[in-house]
Amino acid sequence: MTARRRGRRLRQTGWNIVGLVVFVVMVFPVFWMISTAFKTDDQIVGEKPTWLPLHPTLAHFRDAIDRPFFWDDVKNSLIVVSVTVAISIVLAFLAAVALARYRFGGRKLFVVLVIGIQMLPQAGLIIPLYVVLARYHQVNALSGLIVTYMTFVLPFCVWTLRGFLLGIPKDLEEAAMVDGSTRLGVFVKILLPLMGPGLVATSVFAFITTWNEYIFARVLLNDQQKQTVTVWLSYFLGSSRHTDWGALMAASTLTAIPVIVFFLLVQRRIAFGLTAGAVRG
C-alpha cells in the first residue's frame, strides 16, 4: 500500500513538473515583452541580456502613445471587436437553440457546413472576400471588416454554444412549461442563465480572435485612420533599418490590456451562470 501511494505521488509530482515547464514556456514571452517595455535602450541592445529592468522607465510607453494614429486605431479596434462579438453571440445563440432544440430538414447538413467552414484556411478566403466586399464598396471600411470577421467567428460560436445547449437537460424546459411558463419565459428564465458560462467562454474567444487578427485588417484597410491597432503595430517594423524595440514592446503591452480587462469583467459571470436558473423541486 505504501509503495502504491509512493508511486502515485511520484507520478503526480512528475505531471506537476511537466505542467510547470509548459507554464513557464508559455509565460516567458509575455514576461520578456513586459520587461523589455520598461528597460532603457542601453539594456535592450546591450550585449549582456538582463532579466529585469535595472532602472525602469515609462519613456517607451509615452513614445508609443504619442505616435500618430494610436488612439484612432485603438478606437477602430474597439468598435470592430465590440460589434463583431455582440452580433456573433446573439446570432450564434439563436442558431444554437434552433440546432439543439428543434427538428427541421437540413439540420444535420447545416451542422456539417458549420464544421466545414471552420476547416477552411483563412488565408485562402482573402481574395474571394476582397472581391465581394469591393463590389459592395466595403473595402477600407470598418463595416466590411466586421462582416469578414463574422465569417470565421460566427461558425465557431454556433458550434460551441450548441455543445453547451446539448448539455442542458430538456426536462428543465418542459417542467417550466408544465408550471405555466411560456416559450419566451423558458428562453429567458431557464436557457439564458444556464448558458451563462457558455456565452462568456464563447465571447472571450471571439474577443481575443478579432482583437489579435492582422491579415484581413491589413489587406482590407488601407487608410491609417481606419486601421486596427494590430496593423498599427506593424509600422514599428517599417522600411527603416532600425526598430525601436522598447516602444514596440510597450505598444504590444498596451494592446494586451483591453483583452485582460474584458476577461476580468466577465470571469465572475462564469461561476454565477453555473448555479443561476435552477428549477425548484
pLDDT in tens, 200-219: 888 888 998 999 999 999 99
CA distance 21 to 259: 25
The topology (CATH level 3) of 69-275 is: MetI-like fold (1.10.3720)
Q: What is the DSSP string of 34-88?
A: HHHHTS-HHHHH-SS--SS-SS---HHHHHHHHSTTHHHHHHHHHHHHHHHHHHH
**Angle of helix 245-275 relative to helix 196-212, nearest 10 degrees?**
170
Q: Which residues, 6+ apart, have CB-to-CB distance to 165 below 8 Å?
A: 96, 97, 100, 101, 191, 195, 198
Domain coordinates in residue numbering, the chain: 2-57, 69-275
Q: Is the pTM of this model over 0.85?
A: no
Residue whose cell numbers read 470598418: 142
| pLDDT for 275 | 43
CA distance 56 to 35: 9
Nearest partner of 129 among 70, 120, 234, judged by Cα: 120
SS3 105: coil
Residue 121 has, within 13 A of its CA and on its CB side, a CA count of 3
| pLDDT for 270 | 56
Residue whose cell numbers read 524595440: 245
Phi, psi of 207 (to 5 degrees): -65, -50
**Angle of helix 196-212 relative to helix 70-101, nearest 10 degrees?**
140
| pLDDT for 84 | 95
Residue ranges in the chain modelled with pLDDT below 50: 239, 272-281
Q: Which residues, 6+ apart, have CB-to-CB distance to 69 below 8 Å?
A: 224, 225, 227, 232
